[in-house]
Amino acid sequence: MAASDSSILFTNSHLTWRPAIIGRDGSKLGVCEFSVPESHQEVNEVVNQFLHKIEMNGGDSEATLDKELGDLRVQATRLSDLLRQSRSMHEAAENGAQLKQLMTLFRALEAHYRIVTPKRTGTTGD
């Protein structure tokens, strides 16, 4: 089970994602809730819906995605640790399935993040 302040919740092996929208001033504008399916295409649709909600609420796409990717990384690390510490095949299968579903969301969000964020070249003015 995920921590109470987490944006991730698994219920009966079903992933619910509650990402926060961050404003341009760094404030939290609100929280969305998405039921995350298992297929890659449907996960991409969920991410697109999230990006649309960020835009509709006047949020900062880069800051919001950066925060959510960080939160998902923390959760993936936690699930990976749980998988390694699994005491039974059933527990390992459940933890593995949750990690797989979380990583599908992470990869989709990361791909959109690369599109949304400006390229940094390392030159003055970036």
pTM of the model: 0.85
> Half-sphere exposure of residue 72, counting CA atoms within 13 Å on the CB side?
25
pLDDT at 38 (0 to 100)? 86
pLDDT, averaged in runs of 10, over the chain (126 residues):
63 91 95 92 95 95 94 94 93 93 95 80 55
Do residues 120 and 126 lie in contact, with contact meaning Cβ atoms separated by under 8 Å? yes
pLDDT at 124 (0 to 100)? 56
pLDDT at 20 (0 to 100)? 95
pLDDT at 125 (0 to 100)? 54
pLDDT at 66 (0 to 100)? 93
pLDDT at 119 (0 to 100)? 66
Q: How far is CA 40 from the centre of its chain?
A: 14
Sign of CA dihedral 73, 15, 83, 108: negative
**Angle value at C-alpha 111, between 55 and 22, nearest 5 degrees:** 35
Supply φ then ψ for residue 11, to 5 degrees. -130, 115
Other residues' Cβ atoms within 10 Å of the Cβ of residue 27: 10
